[in-house]
Every structure is written in structure tokens, then in C-alpha cells.
Amino acid sequence: MIEIKTAQEVKEMRPAGKFVGQILKYLRQHVTVGTNLLEIDDYVHQQIDHRQGASSPYVNYAPSFGTGPFAHYICTSVNDAVLHGVPYDYNLKDGDLISLDLAVTVDGWVGDSAISFVVGKDKDPSDLKLIKATEDALAAGIAQCHAGNHLGDVEHAVGEVARERGYSVNMEFGGHGIGHIMHGDPFVANDGRAGRGFRLRPGLVICIEPWLMKTTDEIYQDERDGWTIRSADGSRGAHTEHEVAITDSDPIIMTARD
């Protein structure tokens, strides 16, 4: 069922989105060559523990697409890992591409956002191009988040940027409605048909999350942790996400990092 929030509920959701945005902003500035993925997880754990009313929707999360409880506070997907990366004992190396996907519950409302970046000095231009494609696809999707447009307009805008840049889109995972639960209706695919699907209205809050891989649209799940989604051909992936509220004027980016 697609939930429509009142203006008051959208207001109540904002601290969760802001908190997620602040943590990702800090990590973007401080995660670097030598940072261990478990340190990132510990940092997020501490931030959540110190924030009154905050909890992690990840720790006990056990959906059909994963294996048992996730048991960590953030997804850290490095290089050929693109989604749901389980943090493990690994020190980032110069030129690694990392995607951080974070959701936190604050006062009963979930905030959800993701960023990708390359650490160190040895940045492969094709990695930066891939990341930029996910960011531009997200911006194109957000630009369609106006009441009266259709969900298909958002999905089509995302997919069109991906295709223009030469990437093919995997449709198995995508964005979603969000509120008291992390993954609600509607599913927001990373490609679609303009003018089709649910008609956007004020109070709809969705996560748009373009994720792309360099030379494939096929994935597999890492058997070692039962969660991490990797590209089938070993090429690198990137993932960018914002939580967006549709209003009667401009959309609100709930997880803005400013």
C-alpha cells in the first residue's frame, strides 16, 4: 500500500533524513586510504547510540533478498560490490570505489540515502564517470518529482541518463516508498515509461537510488556473507540515493547533506 503523509508527518520525518545526510557528509570527508570498513560501521553505531530516539533499521533486518539479520549499521560496497555490502575487516586502498548506503530510524521515521566516491589519489576517470552518471540520474529523477507527474516519469528520467552514458540498467533492485518502515511501496525502478504508473501527489515520500555497473547489468550475491551484491563480470559499481518528499511546490530532498 502506498502511504501518503500529511504535511505534519513530512515535517516529523525530516530529522531522520537530516541525521543520515550529516553522517554521510562526515564519512565523505573522513573515509580515506587505510580506513577499515569496520571502523566506518563502528562510527555509525556510535552516532546512532548517542542520538536520542535513534535506532538502526539494518541490524535486525532479514528480508528475502538477504541471508539472516544484516547485523551491521551501514552498507559498505567496494569496487565490484555495488549494493548491500556487509562491512568486514578491510582497509581501503588508493583508488578504491566505495558506496555507503545508510538508513537510520529517528523518532519512528526512517531516513535513507547513499553516496559513492573514490578514495585516495589514483582515481580512474571511468570510475568518476560511473559515479557521476548515478548522481546525474538521481538529479534527473528528482527533477520529475512534482505532483501530477507519474512515477514512470521519475523512472524514465533515471533510466535515460544511464542509457545516454552507455550503461545498462538492472531492474531487480531500485528505490522505494519510505516512512515508518524502510522499504515500502511503491517500488521505484531505475528505468520506466514516461506518463505511466502511480500519479505523484503531495505527501508521497520516496527513495530514488540509481545504481550502475560499468560493463554489465548482471549481478550475483556473494555466498560468503549472503548479502553483498556484486557485478557478474567484476566491473565496478556505483550507487547514489536520496529520500525525496513530493509537495505542492518543489520536492524536498530529505537527506540533503548541506
The residues of the shown chain that bind Mg ion, judged by CB under 5 A, are 101, 112, 114, 207, 241
Q: How far is the CB of 94 from Mg ion (least distance, A)?
A: 26
Q: Which is nearer to Mg ion, 75 or 140 (CB)?
A: 75
Q: How far is the CB of 250 from Mg ion (least distance, A)?
A: 21
C-alpha distance across the termini of the chain, in Å: 32
Give how far Cα 229 sits from Cα of 95, 99, 212, Å.
20, 12, 12
Q: Which is nearer to Mg ion, 142 or 207 (CB)?
A: 207
Inter-residue contact 225 to 86 (CB < 8 Å): yes
Q: Which is nearer to Mg ion, 112 or 155 (CB)?
A: 112
Q: How far is the CB of 230 from Mg ion (least distance, A)?
A: 17
Q: Which is nearer to Mg ion, 45 or 123 (CB)?
A: 45
* Amino acid, res. 242: H
Distance, C-alpha 212 to centroid of its chain: 12
Cα–Cα distance for residue pair 134/201, rounded to 1 Å: 25
* Amino acid, res. 138: L
Q: How far is the CB of 122 from Mg ion (least distance, A)?
A: 28
Q: What DSSP character marks residue 180?
A: S
